[in-house]
A and B are shown apart, each in its own frame.
Chain A
Amino acid sequence: MITMTRETLFNLAMMAALILFPLWAWLADEPFMITLATKAVILALAGVGLNIALGLGGLVSLGHAAFFGIGGYAMGILASHAQNYTPLIETPFLIEGTKSMPVIWLVAVICSGLAALAIGALSLRTSGVYFIMITLAFGQMLFFFTISWPAYGGEDGLSIYVRNGFPGLNTLDPIQFYGICFALLALVLFFAARLARSPFGLALNAARQTAERVETVGISPYKLRLTAFVVSGMITGLAGALFADLNRFISPTMFSWQTSGEIMIFVIIGGVARLFGPVVGAVIFIALEHLLGGLSDYWHIYLGVLLLLIVLFARGGVIGTLTGREVAHD
């Protein structure tokens, strides 16, 4: 028997909104609104990635921009070689660029996963403030590397003139591209929901609360956390590739620590460890940016006030406030 908790109902309503709003925008011929929704969905995806490390694993990573950026640059590099008809590598074997989204996603996910493995393997030897600082340091290293890497635009970034393709769809049509992003978000949310209840999720969640106990039942908290960090990085990397395709532009900003901070803000606003926390957070962020950004360039002040209120008075984020304080259990 399925019992609906308030949180489940809230999540379903959120999914419905993410279908109905773009549908309305499409019928009303408001392509800009569809683009806003697409941006929210992609940023939500990045947040869902971070939430696996942060919410489930308790790993406060301030370096997730690294994976977002790697995903973006995977797209930019592959697509720029394809649009310039120059091979990516000639020796020892020929690798061409590509304009195929599925191939780009795969490369983005693999590259960001490998980066997360390397960064995580080193960072997870520390904890607390040191972990935050070392992840930040890795993010900054990649940021400055891309600034000084002239091959793909350096500081100026790099434009891709035509959006990459997906078999059977016209990705330049905003609603179709939105459909792709939404489908990926839904798929990843489904995966994240399974993960949280899986044996791995149970052990990771316990390791966040009491690493000692997890060790004494024969499970290494380090391996749990490293796995979580890699999965988390892969999802955020996928979001980076989509974000680059949305803008048809990549730049070192994707790697900046502000990006890491923004992804973390989505998670905190929506609700840490809540499945839909990052989705709600990203939607609120984009809504505020759109509504307040028109009034003032300093709209981040209002975002800051909201964040402050949530951290002080609503630790469960928006979802926690609306649906009850405890994270749902089976």
Chain B
Amino acid sequence: MTDPMMTDPVLETRGISKTFGALQASKDISLTLMPGEIHALIGPNGAGKSTLIKQIAGGLRPDAGQVFLQGREVTGLDTPARARLGLGRTFQISALAMEDTVLQNAVLGALGASGRPFRFWRAALGDKDLRARAQDALERVGLQEHAATRTAELSHGQRRQLEVAVALTLRPKAFVMDEPMAGLGTGGSLRLTGFLDGLRAEAPILLVEHDMDAVFALADRISVLVYGEVIATGTVEEIRANPDVRSAYLGDEA
């Protein structure tokens, strides 16, 4: 455990700031995601969670500050380049190819992971490696029975599962998940909680989530974002006990 590699953050932001006109969406945000952990990011609506996620994943360039993935600065890289370096992202609103089958969506992930999408001749679904990798990911989230189903015909919960499966095909070094529980029923939410619990051993997860039960069950650390600013970072107990957090966000619920 004294290996320095084990103590370096997998994903890190240093002093990220972003303003949109008069709105300061991110204010000097420094976060780390350590190996093996689930770091939850919570905050009220409009706190700037999505803006932060975009800056980490590559959709938005911060005005100031840097993003590091496995010690390498990725601030200037676009989304595809960050994905190739090992950032696996899931979306709050499922971003899936709805006309395609479940398997095709998973194969797309495997194709991205292969790094060779510019092949024009052999059938994508005939490629054993791509297919195996895709099916493996589908099995892990329990969608193997639906491989041939058109994605548009999946239930909301199944789309959430597929969203995670596509990220799994990349075998990322770090996951960034934007409200994976959104819209799931209690059962689905519990199942996904169990799955993410095991997943952290493979790659740490930066988890944006509104479902407090899931956050308190999963998170090793929690950061609280309010008006673009991290007002507290700590363990579940520390965050629960923090008076600023209670007044700003958790309110009477906690």
Contact = CB atoms under 8 A, between A and B. Distances in A.
A210 B96 contact: yes
A199 B100 contact: no
B78 to A, nearest CB: 7
B117 A212 contact: no
Interface residues of B, number: 46
A217 B120 contact: no
Contacts of B113: 217-218
Nearest to A223: B118
A216 interface: yes
Interface stretch (B5-13, B41-49, B101-109): B101-109
Given A198-B122, A198-B124, A203 B166 contact: no
Contacts of A209: 96-100
B201 interface: no
Nearest to A215: B79
A61 interface: no
Interface in A163-208: 194-195, 197-203, 205-206
A218 B172 CA distance: 11
B21 interface: no
B117 A201 contact: no
B127 interface: yes
A324 B110 CA distance: 30
A199 B119 contact: yes
A199 B117 CA distance: 6
Contacts of B119: 198-200
A69 to B, nearest CB: 26
B120 A219 contact: no
A211 B124 CA distance: 19
Contacts of B109: 217
A251 interface: no
A220 B84 CA distance: 11
Contact of A329 (B100, B111, B112): B100
Interface of A: 194-195, 197-203, 205-206, 209-210, 212-220, 223-224, 227, 326-327, 329-330
16 contacts: A194-B121, A202-B104, A203-B111, A210-B95, A210-B97, A213-B91, A213-B166, A214-B108, A216-B83, A216-B88, A217-B83, A217-B111, A217-B113, A217-B170, A219-B112, A224-B117
